[in-house]
């Protein structure tokens, strides 16, 4: 397990390789469909300093309020491929070094990881209760009223958040290699 | 009625059924030590235990709330619907459910999981005196990889027979890769029109993983499909590995001569389904 502190440098991001198991600690920001659309179409200035060097987390959490503070009670990853139209540009525009989600992403994102020095980090889909325990604090929330709980930008601090590098800055993608093997195995039984 | 329905939602969201738990345990032990697949299965098992212990959702995507209601004849559908709506609102306030219902025109979240066709009910009358409600919480990741084929499918060399049906089922798991949160469970509806075929597919997901199809032809087809899918090597989360699916459950609806549908309802490993039985004296069980 490799420990990575967020925000991370370009060199750290470029040093990670497909298959590495990583524990993330530091600041992450959740963003899903409405958030990515906003980041590309409206380019909000306030987001850049929060996101620079940090990781975007594709997640729509279940959030409770305990003594006036927000607490994540369930916070696993959502399917990343929905952000494929936006992700590459978001990585470049906001200086994002990590994209955390599930299911992997496509060619445009893989290219952006190479161009800007970033990685795709696969969290365990459905492991919402465990991953919520890795969220130590909710720092702030943006666009909660406009987008609702799942789609808002939640700025969170995490500790030892477990992920696997499945796409890296050298252009390697575990998703592509598993797909190719599966395609071959399927052809054999048709 | 409402407290029983609320308990049904709490248990379904936070406490994975025993047969699914056992199948996940077997999948963990099958994966190679030190592999990403085994790591994924370990995290999954830990997560199931934490959710159960804390009464928090197994997965944050608490999904579409799909109820199959079997009600005694003297109970009105309106009363059951109202109680389900009340229980759903309360479950959302208590954090058993994420606010998950969105108006497709305005993009606004209703905030309480109540909206048009939400929560979703399939209502049936039965002769028993008790009320039986089967609840399934199915997240969007696995719903999005669910799919429907109309045989023949040329690219799969799939004709209008059970061999063709098998090719569609195995292909659907290949198309899904890890995106539906594998290892998944495939509910399959064969025949029908597009709608009845999909309903049958979802209905199949209520079956226990270790049951055996009463029709020996379908039982054999289920085993063959499961072997075929697990030979694809997609594995947990699509990391590569031995267990891509935990089960394949196939049901049949009669079709018209011109149509031959194969509908696949892909369920993620977090297969959240529970059954409430509420007796006339007010006592109830959730299994």
What per-residue confidence (pLDDT) applies to A89?
98
Label each residue of chain A as H, E or C: CEEEEECCCHHHHHHCCCCCEEEEEEEEEECCHHHHHHHHHCCCCCHHHHHCCCEEECCCCEEEEECCEEEEEECCCCEHHHHHHHHHHHHHHHCCCEEEEECCCCHHHHHHHHHHCCEEEECCCCCHHHHHHCEEEEEEEECHHHHCCCCCEEEEEEEEEEEEEEECCCCCEHHHHHHHHHHHHHHHCC
Spatial separation of the C-alpha atoms in residues A104 and B87, rounded to whole Å: 36
Helix (H) or strand (E) holding B84: helix B77-93
Q: What is the pLDDT of residues A36-60, one digit of tens each?
A: 999 999 999 999 999 999 999 999 9
For chain B, the helix, strand and coil percentages under 3-state DSSP, each to the nearest 5: 40, 25, 35
Of B47, B170, B178, the CB nearest to A130: B47
The answer to whether the beta carbons of residues B287 and B200 sit under 8 Å apart is no
How far is the CA of A127 from the CAs of B70, B186, B224, B267, in angstroms? 32, 20, 30, 15
What per-residue confidence (pLDDT) applies to B26?
98
- Residue A173: band (very low, low, confident or very high) from pLDDT cuts 50, 70, 90: very high
To the nearest whole angstrom, how far is the Cα of A82 from the nearest Cα of chain B? Answer: 10
Q: Which domains does chain B have, with CATH numbers?
A: 2-10+58-139+272-286 (3.30.360), 141-267 (no CATH)
Spatial separation of the C-alpha atoms in residues A53 and A69, rounded to whole Å: 26
Q: Is B36 on the interface with A (CB under 8 A)?
A: yes
Helices and strands of chain B, counted as H and E runs: 8, 9
Among A100, A118, A121, which Cα is nearest to A108's? Answer: A118
Phi, psi of A157 (to 5 degrees): -110, 135
- Residue A157: band (very low, low, confident or very high) from pLDDT cuts 50, 70, 90: very high
Spatial separation of the C-alpha atoms in residues A162 and B7, rounded to whole Å: 32
How far is the CA of A20 from the CAs of A54, B33, B232, in angstroms? 18, 15, 23
Arithmetic mean of pLDDT, B104-117: 95
Average model confidence (pLDDT) across chain A: 96
Q: What 3-state class would DSSP assign to B10?
A: helix
Of A103, A129, A164, the CB nearest to B36: A164
ipTM: 0.91
**Judged by CB atoms within 8 Å, which residues 136-165 of A form the interface with B?**
147-151, 162, 164
- Residue B174: band (very low, low, confident or very high) from pLDDT cuts 50, 70, 90: very high
List, by residue number, the catalytic residues of A: 36
The answer to whether the beta carbons of residues A28 and A6 sit under 8 Å apart is yes
Q: Is B55 on the interface with A (CB under 8 A)?
A: no
Q: Is A190 on the interface with B (CB under 8 A)?
A: yes
Q: What is the pLDDT of residues B142-166, one digit of tens each?
A: 999 999 999 999 999 999 999 999 9
The answer to whether the beta carbons of residues A142 and A183 sit under 8 Å apart is no
Chain A residues within an 8 Å CB radius of B60: 59-62, 74-76, 128, 132
- Residue A9: band (very low, low, confident or very high) from pLDDT cuts 50, 70, 90: very high
Arithmetic mean of pLDDT, B203-232: 98
Which sign does the torsion angle of CA B157, B159, B163, B169 carry?
Answer: positive
Among A80, A105, A102, which Cα is nearest to B40's? Answer: A102
The answer to whether the beta carbons of residues A61 and A149 sit under 8 Å apart is yes
What per-residue confidence (pLDDT) applies to B130?
97
**Judged by CB atoms within 8 Å, which residues 191-250 of B form the interface with A?**
228, 231-235, 237-240
- Residue A151: band (very low, low, confident or very high) from pLDDT cuts 50, 70, 90: very high
Q: What is the pLDDT of residues A103-135, one digit of tens each?
A: 999 999 999 999 999 999 999 999 999 999 999
The answer to whether the beta carbons of residues B240 and B183 sit under 8 Å apart is no
- Residue B89: band (very low, low, confident or very high) from pLDDT cuts 50, 70, 90: very high
How far is the CA of B123 from the CAs of A32, B67, B120, B128, in angstroms? 35, 8, 10, 14
Which string of b and e fits A162-173 if b means at least 16 CB within 10 Å?
bbbbbbbbeebb
Q: Which domains does chain A have, with CATH numbers?
A: 2-188 (3.20.130.10)
Q: Is B26 on the interface with A (CB under 8 A)?
A: no
Q: What is the pLDDT of residues B41-64, one digit of tens each?
A: 999 999 999 999 999 999 999 999
Phi, psi of A20 (to 5 degrees): -65, 135
Spatial separation of the C-alpha atoms in residues B82 and B60, rounded to whole Å: 25
Q: Is A2 on the interface with B (CB under 8 A)?
A: no
Question: How many CB atoms are closer than 10 A to CB B250?
Answer: 27
Crossing angle of the two packed helices A107-116 and A84-94, in degrees rounded to 10: 10
Phi, psi of B25 (to 5 degrees): -60, -45
Residues near B133 by Cβ (< 8 Å), separated by ≥ 6?
A: B5, B8, B67, B68, B69, B70, B84, B275, B276, B278
To the nearest whole angstrom, how far is the Cα of B198 from the nearest Cα of chain A? Answer: 22
Q: Which of B24, B60, B179 to mutate to test the interface with A (most CBs of A within 10 A)?
A: B60
Of A78, A182, A186, the CB nearest to B141: A78
Helix (H) or strand (E) holding B218: helix B216-230
């Amino acid at each position: 397990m490799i420990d990575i502190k967020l925000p991370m440098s370009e060199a750290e991001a470029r040093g990670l390789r497909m298959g590495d198991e990583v524990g993330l600690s530091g600041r992450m920001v959740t963003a899903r469909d409405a958030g990515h659309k906003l980041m590309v179409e409206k380019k909000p200035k306030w987001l850049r300093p929060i996101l620079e060097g940090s990781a975007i987390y594709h997640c729509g959490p279940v959030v409770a309020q305990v003594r006036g503070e927000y607490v994540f009670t369930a916070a696993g990853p959502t399917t990343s491929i929905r952000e494929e139209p936006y992700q590459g540009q978001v990585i470049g525009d906001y200086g994002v070094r990590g994209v955390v989600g599930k299911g992997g992403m496509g060619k445009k994102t893989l290219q952006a990881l190479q161009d800007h020095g970033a990685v795709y980090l696969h969290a365990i889909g459905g492991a919402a209760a465990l991953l919520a325990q890795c969220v130590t604090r909710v720092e702030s929330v943006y666009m909660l009223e406009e987008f609702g709980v799942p789609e808002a930008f939640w700025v969170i601090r995490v500790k030892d958040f477990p992920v696997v590098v499945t796409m890296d800055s050298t252009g390697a993608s575990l998703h592509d290699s598993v797909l190719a093997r599966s395609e071959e195995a399927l052809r054999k039984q048709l | 009625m409402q407290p029983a329905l609320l308990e049904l939602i709490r248990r379904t969201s936070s406490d994975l059924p025993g047969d699914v738990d056992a199948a996940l345990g077997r999948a963990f032990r099958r994966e190679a030590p030190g592999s990403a697949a085994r790591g994924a299965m370990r995290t999954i098992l830990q997560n199931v235990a934490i959710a159960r212990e804390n009464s928090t959702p197994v997965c944050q995507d608490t999904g579409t709330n799909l109820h199959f209601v079997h009600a005694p004849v003297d109970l009105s559908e309106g009363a059951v619907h109202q109680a389900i709506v009340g229980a759903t609102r309360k479950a959302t306030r208590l954090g058993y459910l994420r606010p998950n219902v969105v108006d497709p025109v305005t993009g606004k979240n209703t905030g309480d999981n109540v909206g048009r066709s939400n929560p979703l009910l399939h209502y049936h009358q039965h002769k028993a005196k008790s009320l039986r409600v089967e609840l399934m919480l199915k997240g969007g990741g696995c719903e999005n990889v669910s799919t429907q084929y109309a045989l023949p499918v040329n690219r799969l060399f799939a004709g209008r027979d059970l061999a063709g049906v098998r090719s569609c089922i195995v292909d659907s798991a290949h198309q899904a890769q890890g995106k539906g949160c594998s290892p998944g469970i495939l509910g399959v509806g064969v025949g029908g029109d597009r709608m009845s075929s999909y309903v049958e597919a979802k209905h199949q997901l209520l079956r226990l993983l270790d049951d055996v199809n009463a029709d020996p032809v379908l039982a054999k087809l289920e085993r063959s499909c499961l072997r075929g899918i697990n030979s694809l090597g997609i594995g947990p989360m699509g990391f590569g590995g031995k267990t891509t699916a935990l089960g394949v459950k196939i049901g049949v609806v009669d079709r018209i001569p011109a149509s031959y549908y194969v509908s696949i309802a892909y369920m993620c490993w977090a297969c959240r389904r529970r059954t409430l039985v509420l007796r006339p004296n007010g006592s109830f069980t959730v299994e």
